[in-house]
Amino acid sequence: MIVRKICPSDLEQRAGRIIRRGNENEKVKIYRYVTKGTFDAYNWGLVENKQKFIGQVMTSKSPARSIEDVDATAFSYAEVKMIATGDPRIKEKMDLDIQVAKLKLLKSNHMAQRYETEDMIIKHFPQKMAEARLFIEAFSADLPILEAHPVKEDAFSMTILGKTYTERKEAGMALVKACKSMPDPKKPFDLGEYRGFPMQLHFDGAKFRVTMKQNLTYTAELSDDVVGNITRINNALERIPKNLEGQKLALKNLQRDLDPAKEEVNRPFPQEAELETKSARLSQLNIELDNDGGAGLPSQDGDDPPARDDSSTPAPQGDKPSIRQAIRDFSPPAPVATGAERGQRREEIL
């Protein structure tokens, strides 16, 4: 069956009638026939461009903000004539159309990456580096406080509601009691002190949390485990050295990535010369095709054939009347008189 190509969905639908669930054939073959030296290449090119158009809209892989209406693409009269005469420039033009479109897409992606890198240099890197330095400064200030109040198996101390506890279990029970007696769950409640960090009790409507703050705030979520709550509070503070090293590493990585980004943003499009060359050749081909298309039209340099002189009366042929001559000899009737002249004219007639 030979069918006319219209758009990608038509081709996909026809293939879907063969490649589909329920087809009992293990292998199928699909043949597509084209004829050399005809419009087949152009028609398939239109289908390809439509599929690119659809893919660009549906996948958003291209950063372009505008898309050309491929349905408006059409051959000029010159290009139609060149196809009929087998002009090889038509094939070259088609190839260049595809190549230039691909190069423009690559350049668009390159420019989008460049703008993104510029934004990172101007905003992302400075902001993240400033945040890392602030965290480093805060962790560095909190670490000596933590180290000045070490915790050992036989040395534990936590103050809850003004009372100091040296046993973890007792401190955990006092913590649970404080949660039950919290005066206003909507407001933070001063709980006590642990390892040099003041503690506050919070309730978010579902769970209780303990925060410890000096230069930064450290949070531990509470549960029904009495001793486990004390362990969670201690672990929140024990992560300070690890967090400090993590911020130092993050700052180092940002500084390492900043220099390559500055070099990348100044790198030109590597295929710029190829794009310019092929675009120039494509423009030249379009001009040549347009010029060749006007070969059959009247020239504009004074060599036009002389215009017909309709002023002369054609010689009558036999007894056949000349309609043109009758129209020329026709005289319109005199205009109707108005007012008194009309009455005088009427008397004359009567």
Q: Is 253 within a domain?
A: yes
Q: Is 153 within a domain?
A: yes
Return d(Cα 325, Cα 310) in angstroms, integer.
11
Query: Which range of residues forms the domain containing residue 120?
Result: 113-268
Q: Is 310 within a domain?
A: no
pLDDT the model gives residue 87: 72
Return d(Cα 182, Cα 203) in angstroms, integer.
9
103, 274 contact by CB (below 8 A)? yes
Per-residue pLDDT tens digits for 72-106: 445 555 555 555 556 788 778 878 888 898 899 99
Cut 0.85: pTM above it: no
pLDDT the model gives residue 235: 94
Q: Is 141 within a domain?
A: yes
pLDDT the model gives residue 29: 83
80 token code pair: 């139609």
Low-confidence residues in the chain, pLDDT < 70: 1-12, 14, 17, 36-39, 41-42, 45-46, 49-50, 52-53, 55-86, 293-350
Give the three-class secondary structure for 315. coil
User: E strand or H helix at 198, and its extent?
Assistant: strand 197-203
Residues 6+ apart with CB under 8 A from 194: 158, 159, 212, 233, 234, 237
Find the radius of gyration of the CA atoms of the chain: 45
Q: How many domains does the chain have?
A: 1
Q: Is 259 within a domain?
A: yes
Q: Is 15 within a domain?
A: no
pLDDT the model gives residue 143: 95
Beta bridge partners of 328: none
Q: Is 160 within a domain?
A: yes
Q: Is 146 within a domain?
A: yes
pLDDT the model gives residue 298: 39
pLDDT the model gives residue 3: 45
Per-residue pLDDT tens digits for 218-235: 999 998 888 999 999 999
Helices 88-119 and 240-265 cross at an angle (nearest 10°) of 140
37, 88 contact by CB (below 8 A)? no
- Count the neighbouring beta carbons within 10 Å of the beta carbon of residue 108: 15
